[in-house]
Amino acid sequence: MKDLTPTQPASTPGRPPAGEPTRGFAPRHTAAIVVFVAVVISGVRWLKYAPIFSDDSWEYLKIGEAIAHGRFLAVDNGFRTPLFPLYLALAGNRPRLVFAGHLAFGIVICLLLYHIFRNLTGRSGMGIAAAMLYLLLPSTLYYQASVLTETLAALCLAFGAYFTVRAIRAPARAVRDVVLASLAFSLASLDRPEYQLLAPMMVCAVVLLRGKGDLPFLRRAGRVILAGLAPWVLLILGWSSVNYARFGWFTLSTLTGYHLTQYSGPYLNEAPPADKAVANVFFQEEQAFVQAHHGRHIDAFWAARPRLLAATGLSDAQLSRDLLRISLRLIVAHPRAYLPAVWWSWQVFWRPPLYSHGLNLPNLRRAFRGVFTGHMSWWDGFYAYLYVPLELVYAAALVGPFFRKRWRPILWSPGMLSLDAIILYTAIITSFFEPEDNNRFKVPVEGLILGMAVTAAWVIASDWRGSRGKVMPRQGDAPGREEARESR
């Protein structure tokens, strides 16, 4: 096969080659266009839609009301981390204002996604595509309108990803950026506790992936690690210490034990004699729940909780800790049941969050009819059919460079690998404790997934067209204009 590797030095991503005039809008003008479109769409949503509530919403609003009136410690049982209830309190616990705040968060997320993927690829079009795909997702609208944590978590993760990429691409300012990235990831943990290990993991990723600096490696790594871990120690270990003082359990959330019963529930009747009092009550309630819900045992712990509290006399934190201990023993005793369930949860993670069961021919025909009769939005109808191919392209971004070396400068550049780390962390960690509803836990990283997907599609299409020499740099992830200027 003819070698199409460029023979001339590649241009820095984000700049045209030497002597070639800049085409299209300047980056700052393109960013302004992204913001303008996001503001217009968000304004339409504000006028057309109303807030959405779920069972969790009322619990969050109750805690937010307690914060507003200084009664947080009196009503909090440690289930919920404090950031989202604090946001609700700041919004006056008014769902319409919460919705407006979520819409504003969405605009900021679009801008961050634009900058992340424009800087990583050197193409404004990639940034625009990532921002618009995120904005137009039905799940984005649904969770913006919902009084739930997903949109705030997406904002924190977008900031964390942005500063992580900057820290990797501009070593001279890595310490400041890694502190900001760690702060953002730690705030995401105080919104959704599954992210509590993400900050230290991404600090290590910056140490391993960033470029060389003037200082020896150990000194550079030490500075980045110490600075990056400071927000995590202050916020995550700090809040865990607060819970330890209140409940005697060093944990970010006391809901962990309840959650694990979704995997251990069918085997709780096998608990050791010392735990039979708790396990038998739960098992009886779970069996009743399964019969009432046609064999579904997910979330049975909510139905069992009132009777468990009454029968044992324990607090929520004490009961959850006991269930954690019992569940871990049963999971170790039944690995052949647990691991296939985790694998199933991993597969569910990659489904579309709202229409995961709609990929079939009758639903596709119904979508076509709805478009022509005006009974449904075309985007809602065809969303899942676009979403799944994009995720397949993202899979190609992960494994394709193993087989196509020319894809590596972009798809395996240090910045892109850091985004992969955030996405895969979310997929793996949530699969271990959420067996069925795991695609909802993907919502905070959807923008990163789809941005990676459109980038991979661009790389694959460019390779297929035979234009590799024009779009693929020989040395990927070189600093763009912003990073180079700031490094100087």
* Domain presence at residue 19: no
* Domain presence at residue 93: yes
* Domain presence at residue 29: no
What contacts 181, CB < 8 A, 6 or more positions away? 159, 160, 161, 162, 163, 164, 167, 199, 202, 203, 206, 228
CA distances from 369 to 145, 352, 378, 383 (A): 27, 21, 10, 15
Buried b / exposed e over 296-328, threshold 16 CB at 10 Å, is: ebebbbeebbeebeebeeeebbbbbbbbbebbe
Q: What is the per-residue pLDDT for 389?
A: 84
**Cβ–Cβ < 8 Å for 132, 119:** no
* Domain presence at residue 9: no
Query: DSSP secondary-structure letter at 102?
Result: H
In terms of domains, do 392 and 441 share one?
yes
* Domain presence at residue 18: no
Q: What is the per-residue pLDDT for 280?
A: 80
Q: How far apart are CA 300 and CA 258, in angstroms?
A: 9
**363 burial via Cβ count (<10 Å: 0-12, 13-18, 19+):** middle
Q: How far apart are CA 467 and CA 483, in angstroms?
A: 27
In terms of domains, do 59 and 208 share one?
yes
**Cβ–Cβ < 8 Å for 158, 169:** no
* Domain presence at residue 14: no
Q: What is the per-residue pLDDT for 39?
A: 96
* Domain presence at residue 342: no
In terms of domains, do 83 and 153 share one?
yes
In terms of domains, do 366 and 281 share one?
no
Q: Cβ of 365: how many Cβ atoms within 10 Å?
A: 10
In terms of domains, do 416 and 275 share one?
no
Q: Which domain holds residue 424?
A: 37-253+348-487
In terms of domains, do 242 and 319 share one?
no
In terms of domains, do 292 and 156 share one?
no
Q: Cβ of 484: how many Cβ atoms within 10 Å?
A: 16
Q: What is the per-residue pLDDT for 6?
A: 35
Of 308, 333, 358, which residue constitutes the final position of a domain? 333
Q: What is the per-residue pLDDT for 310?
A: 87
Of 309, 333, 357, which residue constitutes the final position of a domain? 333
Into how many domains does the chain fold?
2
What contacts 213, CB < 8 A, 6 or more positions away? 171, 172, 174, 220
**Cβ–Cβ < 8 Å for 435, 345:** yes
**Cβ–Cβ < 8 Å for 117, 162:** no
DSSP-derived secondary structure for 355-403: -TT--SHHHHHHHHHHHHHTSS-HHHHHHHHHHHHHHHHHHHHHHHHHH
In terms of domains, do 353 and 399 share one?
yes
In terms of domains, do 121 and 210 share one?
yes
What contacts 291, CB < 8 A, 6 or more positions away? none
Of 333, 365, 382, which residue constitutes the final position of a domain? 333
In terms of domains, do 237 and 105 share one?
yes
Q: What is the per-residue pLDDT for 375?
A: 54
Sign of CA dihedral 278, 283, 284, 286: positive
**Cβ–Cβ < 8 Å for 135, 38:** yes
Strand partners, 52: 146
Q: What is the per-residue pLDDT for 479?
A: 47
In terms of domains, do 286 and 372 share one?
no
Q: What is the per-residue pLDDT for 470?
A: 53
Amino acid present at 133: L
* Domain presence at residue 445: yes
In terms of domains, do 284 and 225 share one?
no
Helix (H, G, I), strand (E, B) or coil at 146: strand
Report pTM.
0.86
Q: Which residues of the chain have pLDDT under 70?
A: 1-27, 211-216, 293-297, 354-382, 384, 467-488
Q: How far apart are CA 100 and CA 8, in angstroms?
A: 50
